[in-house]
Amino acid sequence: MKKRIGIPILLTVLFIFACQMPARADIVELNLFSLGCPTAFDHNSPSWQTNFDLGVTFTQISHVYIDWSGEIMGRLVLAWHTPPAYPSNEEIEAALGHYPSWRYTTALGGKTTYPESEVFDRLSEFVNGSMSWSELFDGQGTITIEYPELLSVPEISVIEYGFINLTSATLIVDGTIVPEPATIVLFVTGIIGLRTRKRKK
């Protein structure tokens, strides 16, 4: 007489097998406007900061980017308080994590097109150095976007500040995603269904 494998034992075996399913490489995107990111930044704008949850977990992260677009109006400055004034770049900065261990990236422009704004559309990678992205493996983190105070030098004075208007801002994480529990359950349920159908035949 053949021994039949009990359902609990079968579920356990299948669950263990499913957990060994290889993680998959993928790209996860998060629209920052959906989290309340402002569209306009200038000299008087406060920093914008928020926590986020990507809804997935990772075993490895290779690159993190911000895909942003919009327009940058340059600033007008004087050297040694002596005319004529000349245009200079404005800058917007995005940072992940918290100071002093944050990872950052910037977009600047406006100098060459002044007095017109410069349109930009860039995929900017966050500076990582030799560190890993382990703090993002749980899919959670903090992002800050701000109009930074450029390094102040005594011989340069600002006559007119510029601005940055964003039309899009998306956080992009390129990494290896751990299979979701729902995927594992679906896999196990499918195997049980096939086994039950075979037994009925």
Label each residue of 140-169 as H, E or C.
Answer: EEEEEEECCCCCCCCCEEEEECCEEEEEEE
Please count the residues of the chain. 201
Reported as a single tens digit per residue, the pLDDT across 61-94 is 999 999 999 999 999 999 887 889 999 999 999 9
pLDDT at 153 over 50: yes
Question: What is the Cα–Cα distance from 195 to 93, expressed in whole angstroms?
Answer: 56
Q: List where CATH 2.60.120 sits in the chain.
A: 24-178
pLDDT (0 to 100) of residue 147: 93
Token digits of residue 20: 């060994």
Reported as a single tens digit per residue, the pLDDT across 92-151 is 999 999 887 889 999 999 999 999 999 999 999 998 766 789 999 999 999 999 998 765
Token digits of residue 158: 């600002």
**3-state SS assignment for residue 45:** coil
Of 189 and 108, the structure prediction assigns the larger pLDDT to 108
Residues in Cβ contact with 143 at an 8 Å cutoff, skipping those fewer than 6 apart: 32, 49, 50, 52, 94, 95, 96, 171
What CATH class has 24-178?
Answer: mainly beta
pTM: 0.77
Query: What angle do the packed helices 181-200 and 7-19 form, to 10 degrees?
Result: 140
